[in-house]
Chain A
Amino acid sequence: GEDVEQSLFLSVREGDSSVINCTYTDSSSTYLYWYKQEPGAGLQLLTYIFSNMDMKQDQRLTVLLNKKDKHLSLRIADTQTGDSAIYFCAESPAGNMLTFGGGTRLMVKP
């Protein structure tokens, strides 16, 4: 079945870049997604990448996709304390429901 894996925790200093990694197993996904979840809040779609793309940049966010290795990464430039949250990558096999990774907790130290 589908499986999405992420590292559990990342700690960076304010102003540094953060890189959150994700591996997935299903190669049929059309889109791959990054969601942000802050304490007590719902899931917020941050960005997504179409499966035939290698890279997508959106302001401070850069998504890299390596389809051969089934590896997705999210880079946050100039990380701020407000970026502290849990980040989930997700794929959508067969174009229906989302399959999420377990989430990476990002802690930004001032």
Chain B
Amino acid sequence: DTGVSQNPRHKITKRGQNVTFRCDPISEHNRLYWYRQTLGQGPEFLTYFQNEAQLEKSRLLSDRFSAERPKGSFSTLEIQRTEQGDSAMYLCASTLGPGDHTEAFFGQGTRLTVV
């Protein structure tokens, strides 16, 4: 297993376009998390899945954002009608189970630039 994989690594899009990111977690990990990191800030939680169920969404996740994990394996994060304020690094992480991030692994992120 090569760890948590995110694609694409970089995405430049025009304002108003839709974008979709993909995260492939470590294969036996049941929990998958999405975070957003803007320049000079720490990562902020967006949402997480336990297998295919989306268990919690942050208030940061506006209705333009949607995340799925249809088969409990990879996940996608879609942003519709992108705005310049969506420019950030989007990070994915996975853990084996709840309550313990001592084995949480982060992907290298997808850097989104909205022009």
Q: Report A's interface with B, CB cutoff 8 A.
A: 4, 30-31, 33, 41-45, 48, 88, 90, 92, 95-103
Contacts and interface: CB of A to CB of B under 8 A. Distances in A.
Contact of B42 (A48, A92, A103): A103
| Pairs A-B, 9 closest by C-beta atoms | A95-B99, A100-B42, A97-B45, A42-B108, A43-B106, A42-B106, A102-B42, A100-B43, A88-B42
Contacts of A97: 33, 45, 48, 56
Contacts of B93: 43, 98
A37 B92 CA distance: 14
Interface string B38-58: 001111110010000001100
Contact of B41 (A31, A45, A103): A103
Interface in B39-79: 40-45, 48, 55-56
B100 A98 contact: no
A20 B102 CA distance: 20
Given A88-B42, A96-B48, A97-B56, A42 B98 contact: no
Determine which residue in A42, A101, A103 has the highest number of CB atoms from chain B within 10 A of its CB, and name it: A42
A45 B48 CA distance: 19
Contacts of B41: 102-103
Contacts of A96: 48, 55-56, 98-99
B109 interface: yes
A32 to B, nearest CB: 10
A43 B91 contact: yes
A96 B47 CA distance: 10
